[in-house]
Amino acid sequence: MIGIVDYGMGNLLSVRHALEMVGAEVTLCREGDDLRQVERIVLPGVGAFRDCMMNLKNNGLIEALEEAVLRLGKPILGICLGMQAMARRSFEGGEHSGLGWLEADVVRLQPGEPSLRVPQIGWNEIRYRTGSPFFETLPPSPDFYFVHSYFVKCDDQAIIEATCDYGGPVTAAVRKGNIFATQFHPEKSQDYGLKVLEHFLSWKP
């Protein structure tokens, strides 16, 4: 059973639909107790970092996520804002603390090319780490769908699973222990996105 964290900021329907397309049995997790019933977790998110963290806290989900992910080691997939929430802090609209699972900051995109707009909206090719369990069956430079103004800047380059170029290098995916997260939206990335979700279902960290 896959649990999608429902804290009022995710594009839940498209994430759920995509997971079901690759054979997952899906439930929504709105309370901490819900996370105890699932084997894998998806943390989606659309919107502002500060609101994301406040909603997770107000719904009593932070402690439950820490229990499931950090102590029990359940595999988790963060998507877009869900990925950013895993960093220690974000500079979106001031400085705000995150979950602190990744030694990383969330910083604004600053493309080196004036023609590139922020947010980045649309398809972009990624470059992924050789042997990645999430991309190894895909072509060398698959394209995925992005919608974001900020990205996760990692202290430890070893956890970066994939990057894209948007007037400079941008973290597209990270993997650390039982944590996998993408800045792009696999649920909106057609066949390649579905393949990433399929790999997450069979991933054994």
Q: Which residues are catalytic?
A: 80, 185, 187
Measured in whole angstroms, the distance separating CA 97 from the mean position of its chain's CA atoms is 17
| Residue 65 contacts residue 5 (beta carbons within 8 Å) | yes
Please give the torsion angle defined by the CA atoms of residues 32, 197, 17 and 184, in that order, rounded to the nearest 10 degrees: 90
Coil/strand/helix, residue 192: helix
Whose CA is closest to 100, among 122, 69, 79, 128?
69
| Residue 9 contacts residue 55 (beta carbons within 8 Å) | yes
Q: Is the peptide bond before 139 cis (omega within 30 degrees of 0)?
A: no
Pure H helices in the chain = 12-21, 32-35, 49-58, 61-65, 81-84, 190-202
